[in-house]
Homo-oligomer: A and B are copies of this chain.
Amino acid sequence: MRRPRRKAEDTRAEILDTAELLFARNGISGCSIAHIAQALGMSPANVFKHFHSKISLADAICDRHIVKMVDRLKAVETEAPAPERLGVVVRQLMNIHLEAMREAPFMFEMILMLAETKIASGRHYEQMLQSLFCDLIRHGVESGVYYCSDPIRRGRAVAAAFACVLHPVFLVNEPPEELQARCDETVELVNIALQNPLAK
């Protein structure tokens, strides 16, 4: 059976949709490129043209989720003062992760599988967080509630400090009350730092 010619981008999206469905159903270790190709009625070679390994497929699926997450965050943009906004943004991000983990537990298998590999989506997520916090710090400095002469450097440190509530490895199997408390305490610590008038 010959498939009609289609745009590479559409084919790529179709492969990702099917792979995500199969990963969710059978786990990543229970799927191969060959399975995915079969489900799509494609040749494995055709899938391979777009994704050179199961890792790069999983990486691309993660990246799609990250982009969706940023879009949702932009939608909840608030007009509150910076210290409050920081809390809202971090809690929102943490809850999006928790929801994703409930709805798609295979995502956790994926992240563990990818933890050993240096992957593009991990780096993308990190940079997205750094620029998010950098903007938030700038906004706080402009409105006179935060003190900081190097928002880029500080944004990196803030993103790193929030890994404990924003990296999936720390979210799995933790009781929700404990995560909520850790989130509140870390937001408090970071806000105390950013509000220190003596900070360089």
User: Is A21 part of the binding interface, using a Cβ–Cβ cutoff of 8 Å?
Assistant: no
Which residues of A146-200 are within 8 A (CB) of B? 153-154, 156-158, 160-165, 167, 169-170, 172-173, 182, 185-186, 188-190, 192-193, 195-199
Cβ of A193: which chain B residues have Cβ within 8 Å of it?
189-190, 192-193, 196
Bound-state Cα–Cα, A195 to B193, Å: 8
Across the interface, A154 reaches (CB within 8 A) one of B108, B157, B189, namely: B189
A117 at the interface (CB under 8 A from B): yes
- Cβ proximity bits A101-116 to B, threshold 8 Å, 1 near / 0 not: 0000000100010011
Number of this chain's copies in the complex: 2
Is A118 in contact with chain B by the CB < 8 A criterion?
Answer: yes
For the residues of A in contact with B, the DSSP-based class is: helix
Judging by beta carbons under 8 Å apart, are B157 and A185 in contact? Answer: yes
CB distance from A107 to the nearest CB of B (A): 13
The 9 closest A-B pairs by CB, nearest first: A193-B193, A196-B196, A161-B161, A157-B185, A160-B164, A157-B189, A163-B164, A192-B193, A192-B199
29 A-B contacts (beta carbon < 8 Å): A112-B112, A112-B115, A115-B169, A115-B172, A116-B173, A118-B173, A153-B185, A154-B185, A156-B182, A157-B186, A157-B189, A158-B189, A160-B161, A160-B182, A161-B162, A161-B186, A161-B189, A161-B190, A163-B163, A163-B164, A163-B167, A164-B164, A167-B170, A169-B169, A189-B190, A189-B193, A190-B193, A193-B196, A196-B196
